[in-house]
Structure 1
Amino acid sequence: MITLYSYPGLFGVADNNGYGLKVYAWLKLAGIAFTHQHLLDASAAPRGQLPYIVDDGETIGDSDTIIAHLARKYRPAVDEGLTPSESDTNLLVSRLLDDLYWVMSYSRWKDERCWPAFIAAFRREHPALSEADLLKAKEFNAQRYHFQGIGRFAPEAAYARGLDDLRVLANLVPADGFVHGPKAGSVDCAIYGFVANIWFYDIDTPLKQFVAAHGNLIRHCTALHAIATVRSEQA
């Protein structure tokens, strides 16, 4: 049996972190049964990072490593027949999302204009979390942002990076279907993990404004959200 450990859900998505939501969506798309446990403290996770899974006693971290393990072991039909070029595109998108992650996270924990509304939403949906827990997470993230570099940017400069990333995604995602054709694949789950955490985020940011202006990103996001929701209800 597989257990997915990831951050708490927020704003109607199963995980308020893009990496955990990517794995969640992939498991739903693949039709692989699993249980989902939410954590805020990642100290016991591999390398101190969420998400991770425990699969028949084996602990595996890192979203891409998790998906590669599950694909090898359970052999779902996801990503069947990808060309080498399409596989390269998947890797390029994954690396681009690594950059978008920092800007998206910055918009929540660092941008003081968004912080009050974000923390109020967290308290509303997760009342068991203490004020001390949330402030500790804010301080921890501030340190991460500083050492990664995004924390040294003014908000407008930080958002400019994320908008460049979203512009690439808007050019890649088609008006109909999915990135590599009529069937969703791993790359679609990855994009959904991040775009959903912008689009369903109930606070106006430059990132959300960009998504709102691009119907193809909204359509793609809601299509993946519907797949995950329907398959979740059927499980």
Structure 2
Amino acid sequence: MLELLQFHPAFGLMNPSPFCMKVEVFLRLAGLPYRCRNGEVPLRMPKRKLPVLRDGDLLVCDSQAILVHLQQRYGAGMPASLTAPETAGELVIRRTLEEHTLFAGLWLRWVDPPAWPQLKDAMFGRVPAPLRWVVPPLVRRKIRRDIWGQGVGRHSREEIVARAKADLDAVVELLGPLPYYAGQEPGALDATVYAFAANMLWAPIDSPLRAHARGHPRLVAYAQRMRERVGA
């Protein structure tokens, strides 16, 4: 059976990581049997990040590489919308979310002072003392450094929020009147968009981005439709 190595679920979501949630959503849409191994440590993984998929003796790292692997190996039994080649527009939406919006969201969770206590309790509540007092600031420092290195972390809070809102507005606009980004049935991109949308809308961490997302009726309806489709 396929085994998904990922972070612990949190916030009542499949996963607080959009990348881990993306893979699990895709697995459910594809109807593939799998089990989750939660609470893995990224530093133990080949690329030092999660998720990782174990398929027999094969370890597949990186969420997009996992989706491609599943499409290539098991695509014959999937709905056609899940195996359709990625269009140029879909690539742009996915890259916007994964390589820009992500870092704004990380900043608003891990760096923004009002959000940090809520996140720390959710992410590290299972860590035994005294590590519970030592590990969170170390992880936070690393993530802050990563966000700075990517570039988003060099902006002011107001600029980060404005950029994330602009990303979200564009992604919602590109959905148009269709029920899913792939059309009448969900496709691979929908696994990505839903993972980000669910984390924005339903993670119990107050932020300007969550309020902005909830102000998009089309996004809220889309996320609810996807939640009903995958059952989480």
TM-score normalised by length of structure 2: 0.90
Counterpart of 2:200 in structure 1 is 198
Query: What is the distance in 1 between the residues matched to 2:210 and 2:227?
Result: 17
1:40 is displaced (CA, Å) by 5.3
1:103 partnered with 2:111: no
1:145 corresponding residue in structure 2: 147
User: What is the CA distance between 1:4 and its match in structure 2?
Assistant: 0.6
TM-superposed CA distance for 1:95, in Å, is 0.6
Q: Deviations over 1:93-114 (max 9, x none)?
A: 1111121111111111111121
Q: Does the C-alpha gap of structure 1 residues 198 and 94 become closer, same or farther in structure 2, counting only changes over 3 Å?
A: same
Instruction: Count the aligned residue pairs.
Output: 227
Shift of the alpha carbon at 1:154?
1.4
Q: Is the alpha carbon distance of 1:134 and 1:119 closer, same or farther for their aligned partners in structure 2, counting shifts above 3 Å?
A: same
Q: What is the root-mean-square deviation in Å for CA atoms of aligned residues?
A: 2.0
2-side partners of 1:78 and 1:113: how far apart? Answer: 44
**What is the aligned counterpart of 2:170 among 159, 165, 168?**
168
Runs of 4+ in structure 1 deviating by more than 4 angstroms, as ranges, are: none
For residues 104 and 123 of structure 1, the distance between their equivalents in structure 2, rounded to whole angstroms, comes to 18
Would you say the 8 A contact 2:52–2:61 is kept in 1? yes
Show CA shifts across 1:110-129 (max 9, x none). 111211222233355x4657
Please give the secondary structure, in 1, of the residue aligned with 2:47.
helix
In 2: Cα distance, 1:157 partner to 1:96 partner: 16
Report if the CA contact (8 A) 1:22-1:193 is conserved: yes
Deviation at 1:158, TM superposition (A): 1.1
Matched, 1:157 2:159: yes
- Measure how far apart 1:91 and its partner are: 1.1
1:187 to 1:201, Cα distance in 2 relative to 1, 3 A = same
CA distances 1:118-144 after superposition (whole Å, capped 9, x unpaired): 2233355x4657232222211111121
Is 1:48 the counterpart of 2:51? The answer is no
User: Is the CA contact (8 Å cut-off) linking 2:172 and 2:219 kept in structure 1?
Assistant: yes
Percentage of matched positions with identical amino acids: 24
- In the TM superposition, what whole-angstrom CA distance separates every residue of 1:59-82 from its partner, at most 9, and x where no partner exists? 111111100000110011252684
Which consecutive residues of structure 1, in runs of 5 or more, have no partner in the other structure? 231-235
CA-to-partner distance for each residue in 1:14-51, whole Å, 9 max, x for gaps?
Answer: 11011111111000000001111123520022321111
Structure-2 residue corresponding to 1:233: none
The TM-score normalised by the length of structure 1 is 0.89
- What secondary structure does 2:43 align onto? coil
Counterpart residue number, 1:21: 21
Letter in 2 for 1:208: R
2: distance between equivalents of 1:80 and 1:227?
A: 14
Aligned counterparts, 1:1-235, within 5 A: 1-39=1-39, 41-75=41-75, 76-79=78-81, 82=84, 87-98=87-98, 99-123=100-124, 126=126, 128=128, 130-175=132-177, 177-229=179-231
Contact kept? 2:82, 2:188, Cα under 8 Å: no
The aligned amino acid for 1:51 is: P
